[in-house]
Structure 1
Amino acid sequence: MEPWYSVYWFRSVQWQQYHFAHPLALSLIPGILVLFFLRYYLSRNAQQQLNMSLGQLRYRRIGTDNLIDRWLSLLRYLLPVSVFMGMAMLLVALARPQIVRQQRDEQSEGIDIMLAIDVSESMNEGDLPPNRLAVARRVAQAFVNSRKNDRIGLVIFAGEAFSLCPLTTDYALLKQYLNDLNTRMIRTSGTAIGDALARCINRMRDPVNIQADTAQIEAGQTERSKLIILLSDGDNTAGNLDPVTAAKLARAFSMRLYTIAVGRASSVKAGTVDEGILKTIATIGSGSFYRATDARSLQRIFAQINRLEKAPVQVRVYEDIQDFYRVYLYWGISFLLGALLLKNTIFGNILED
C-alpha cells in the first residue's frame, strides 16, 4: 500500500473505489467555502493596513522582471488554501472512505430426483410431433438444465424397468442418456409402471445414500427431499408390482410422486390410456397428476414442477472492509500545521490576528 503522504490518495481512480460510511460529512465541505466568503465579506471594511512608502523600491525595480512579484502575489493565497484543505481532509476522514469487497457464498443441499420415462412402443405415437418420446426427451433435458445442486437419476421402462443412470450431479452424462432414449431399448412389450416406481424407490433408498443422509442429520442438517417424476402414456399392462403398492412404498419413504400422461386422449384407442391409475398413484404419493397434450403443455408441466420443487438456498455475504480515513486525517493535520507555520511568515497578515 502507498504511504499516506503519497499523491496516490488524490487520484480519481482511487476515489471511485470508495464507499463512504458517513457521506453527509462530505456535504459540509462546500460550507467551508461559504465560511471563507462570509469572513471576507464581514471583515473587508475592517481590515487594518500598514501604510508604507515604497517609492524608492518601485523606482529601483522599474524595468526589471516582475515574475517574482506575481509569484509573491499568488503565494499570499497559500495560507487560506492550506486552512481549507486541512478542514476538507478532516471532513473526508470523518466520512470514513472505505473499499468494500463482497463475496457471496450460495449453499444448497439440493434434492434427489428420479425421472421414470416410458420407452414402450406406444411412445412412438405422432400426436406430439415428431413423437411422444422425442418431445419427452427434449423437455426432460431442458428440465435437467434448469436444476442446480440436485442429484438426478433416470429409470426407463416398458414391459420391464431398468435403472439407466443412478443419482448424479453429472448433468452432461445424464443428458447424454436422455438423448439416446428410443423404443428399442427394452424388447419386452407392455408398460410396467409399478416396477418403474420400485426401481426409483430403490435408487433413492440406496444404503450409501442412507449413510450420507444419516451423517447430514447428525450434523444438524435436514434430510434431502426426494421426488419421482413418472412420464408415460398411462397404460399399466406389465410388471410384477402393482402401481398402487409402489406408490404407498414411495409415500412410506417420504418420496413425492408426480405423474404425467403424455398424448391426446382422442388419438388413442378407447380403454388403452388409464389416466385413473396415474391420478391415483400421484394422490397416494402426495404429488400431482398432469396431462400433456402437446409439447408446450409438457414444457409448462415441467416448469411448474421446477418451481414447486426447489431446495432452500442459504446465501452468505462476506464483506472485506478496508478503512482509509487515517490517510486523510494525516493529510488534514499536515495542512493545518502548515497553515500555522505560514501564519508566522510573510504570507500571514499579523494585523488581522
Structure 2
Amino acid sequence: MDKLSFLHPQFLLLLAVLPLLAFWLYKNRKQQTATVNMSSIQGLAATATWITRFKPYLVVLRLIALALIIIALARPRTVDISNQTKTTRGIDIVMAVDLSSSMLAKDLNPNRMEALKTVASQFVDDRPNDRIGIVVYAGEAYTKIPVTTDKALVKQVISELNYDPTVEDGTAIGMGLATAVNRLKESKAKSRVIILLTDGVNNAGFIEPETAADLANEYGIKVYTIGLGSNGMALFPVGVNPDGSLAYQNLPVKIDEGLMKSIAKKTHGKYFRATSNSRLEEIYNEINQMETTEIEELKYYDYDEKYRPFVLLALLLIVIELSLRQTIYRSIV
C-alpha cells in the first residue's frame, strides 16, 4: 500500500515562518504601495470596485506560493513495496519420541503421550521455515516420517502417535537416537538438531546410547534430551482389565538422567526434565528460542515523487501575481 512520506521533512519547519511573514506584511501594507500627497480629497469620489478590493490580497498568492515551494523542498513522495523475497537458511529437526507403554502414565494430564502430542504440534507451528521429521522407538526404532517441509503432514503424524501393543515394548534409547542420526547425516541444512524424549531407562536394542551419541557428534548433530515424568510415584499401565481397559498401578518414576545429560553434553546440546505439562511446554519453547533460523528479506521500494505539482502550482501563482502587478495594478507613481 502506498504511503506518503518526506525525504527532507526538516524543510517543513519553514512553514512556521509564514505566519510571521504574513503579520509583517500586514503591518507594513501601506508602505508597499506608492502614495501621492494631496492637500484635500474632497472633490474625489470614492469608487471602490472588486479590482481595488482584491489588490491587498495579492500578497496571499505570494504566501501560498512560498508554502508550496517549502513543501516541494521537503520532497513529498509515496512508496510502494512492490516485491519482497525471503531466502531462508533453515534447520533440519528430528524429534525422536519414546512410544513405550510407560508413555501412558498419568503423571501428566491426561497422560504423558497426549501432553507430548499437544506441545510437539505447537512446536511444529512455531518452525515454519524448517524441515521436521519424526522417529519413534520402543523396543525397536523406525522412522515415522523423514524430514519434510509439509507441516500439515508432520502434525498429522504427531496426532496419530500412540502406544502399539503389537510392537516389542521397551526403551531402546540408543536405537532411537541412531535412527534419528541416520535421517540427518546427509542433510545440507545450516544446523541439524535432534530432540530426544524418553521417560525411562535404556533397556532394549543393540546400539548403546553412548555409541549413538558419538555418532551424532561425529556428524555435527546437536541433541537436546528431555526426561519426561514427575518425581516420585506415578500411575503406570501394568496390564489389561477383563473389559479391555488398561489397569494402572502406582510405581516409582525412573529416568536415567545421567545418560540423558551425557548425550546432551557430548553433542553440545542440553538436558531438560519435564515434570508437568507446563514445564514440557516451557522446554519446547526454550529449544525453539535457542535454535533460531536465519532469514534474509529483500524488499524493493518504488518511490513516486510528488513535489512537481507543488512547484508548478507555486510558479503559476507567482506568474499570476506578477502579471496582475504589471498590468491591472501597475502604479503610475
- Give the TM bin, normalised by the shorter chain: 0.7 to 0.9
Distance 1:57 1:270, change over 3 A: closer
Q: Which residue of 2 aligns with 1:128?
A: 108
Q: Tell me whether 1:184 sits opposite 2:170 in the alignment.
A: no
Q: Tell me whether 1:344 sits opposite 2:310 in the alignment.
A: no
Shift of 1:275: 2.1
Distance 1:247 1:183, change over 3 A: same
**Percent identity among equivalent residues?**
35
**In the alignment, is the contact (CA less than 8 A) between 1:119 and 1:185 conserved in 2?**
no
The within-5 A match list for 1:143-154 is: 143-154=123-134
* Runs of at least 5 residues in structure 1 that lack an aligned partner in the other structure: 1-15, 62-68, 214-222
The within-5 A match list for 1:215-294 is: 223-267=189-233, 269=251, 272-294=254-276
**In the alignment, is the contact (CA less than 8 A) between 2:113 and 2:162 conserved in 1?**
yes
The within-5 A match list for 1:56-205 is: 71-102=50-81, 105-184=85-164, 187-205=167-185
Q: What's the TM-score, normalizing by structure 1? A: 0.80
Q: Distance in 2 between matches of 1:147 and 1:165?
A: 16
Counterpart selection for 1:32 from 18, 28, 31: 18
Distance 1:291 1:17, change over 3 A: closer
Whichever residue aligns with residue 244 of structure 1, its letter is: E
Q: Distance in 2 between matches of 1:189 and 1:281?
A: 23
Q: Distance in 2 between matches of 1:296 and 1:80?
A: 73
Whichever residue aligns with residue 240 of structure 1, its letter is: F
Q: Distance in 2 between matches of 1:46 and 1:225?
A: 78
> What is the aligned residue count?
313
* Runs of at least 5 residues in structure 2 that lack an aligned partner in the other structure: 235-250
Q: Distance in 2 between matches of 1:312 and 1:44?
A: 71
Shift of 1:168: 1.0
SS in 1 for 2:264: helix
SS in 2 for 1:159: coil
Shift of 1:251: 0.6
Shift of 1:36: 3.8
Alpha-carbon RMSD across the aligned residues, in angstroms, is 2.7
Whichever residue aligns with residue 196 of structure 1, its letter is: G
SS in 2 for 1:83: helix
Q: Tell me whether 1:310 sits opposite 2:289 in the alignment.
A: no
Whichever residue aligns with residue 166 of structure 1, its letter is: P
Q: What do residues 32-79 of structure 1 show as CA deviations (whole Å, max 9, x unaligned)?
A: 342343234246368543579797977xx9xxxxxxx66334432452
Q: Which residue of 2 aligns with 1:301?
A: 283
Give 1 or 2: higher strand fraction. 2
SS in 2 for 1:283: helix
Q: Distance in 2 between matches of 1:123 and 1:203?
A: 24
